[in-house]
Amino acid sequence: MPARPRTRSAKTTLSLDAIVAATLALVDELGCEAVSMRRVSQAVQTGPASLYVYVPDRGALMALAHDLAVADVRLPTDADGDWRARLELLVDRAVTALAAHNDIATVGMTGTLPGPHILRITEELLRLLRTGGISDAACAWAADLIGQYIASSALEEAMWSRARRSQERVGGSPPEAAAEEEKAEEAFAARLDALYRSLPAERYPTIRALAPLLTGGDGATRAAWKIRVLIDGLLAPARSDAN
């Protein structure tokens, strides 16, 4: 008898790496809330019960996907400048990596234990802070503060990326989608500015006075300013002690 032609694709080889990769791909497509154990099992062509051989629960699986999202973050080297320049670059790369995967950054805000890729970034972050002369106590809390900054910045970037992809799906080319994203950002800033300027000055005098500044500046400039202020604040006690 001749062999019957294959009518379906070969089943995905089941492994923890394949399961985590499928989970992250679903986050990219649907967002964290929509990712269930059933959807992941369908993506790797198995039953939900089979996943529990590899992970204890959905939370553990999402933590692994979150860790995978930063797997390709390159640590800065001496060629990238002094400790401060490298710290800023490391933060920027972490933000970019997380923002590339929809809202995966929310997982890092839910009390999950860090995986090896996140630990690698945290180790370098702490090392750079200590190199800069920041006290150990400040370094410990700074890691938490900078981690929160990375997550929130990644979520904001991801939001605008989703808007751009939505524009691409309705027929716009990547350059057109990028232009639409810029227009959307400008439109939002304009609406916010209009709101601030419409507020009664007797009740909101400071907002009215600062209205042009509250909505000014592009995203990259604001991001650079924020991390610079964070680092300046961490350095302030050391400078005070030196004086």
For residue range 57-87, list pLDDT tens digits in order: 999 999 999 999 999 999 999 999 999 999 9
Judged against a pLDDT cut of 90, whether residue 3 lies above it is answered with no
Taking the CB of residue 221, how many other CB atoms lie within 10 A of it? Answer: 10
Confidence of residue 88 (pLDDT cuts 50, 70, 90): very high
Q: Which two tokens stand for residue 18?
A: 């394949």
User: Residue 156 above 80 pLDDT?
Assistant: yes
pLDDT of residue 6: 42
Whether residue 92 is predicted with pLDDT greater than 50 in this model: the reply is yes
Residue 1 confidence (pLDDT) = 44
C-beta atoms surrounding 161 within 10 Å: 16
Which residue pairs, CB below 8 angstroms and at least 24 apart, start in 42-48?
44/12, 44/14, 44/18, 44/19, 45/11, 45/12, 46/14
Q: What is the mean pLDDT of the chain?
A: 87
pLDDT in the model for residue 168: 55
Helix (H, G, I), strand (E, B) or coil at 179: helix
- pLDDT recorded at residue 86: 97
CA distances in angstroms from 3 to 6, 7, 9, 10, 220, listed in the order given: 9, 12, 16, 16, 59
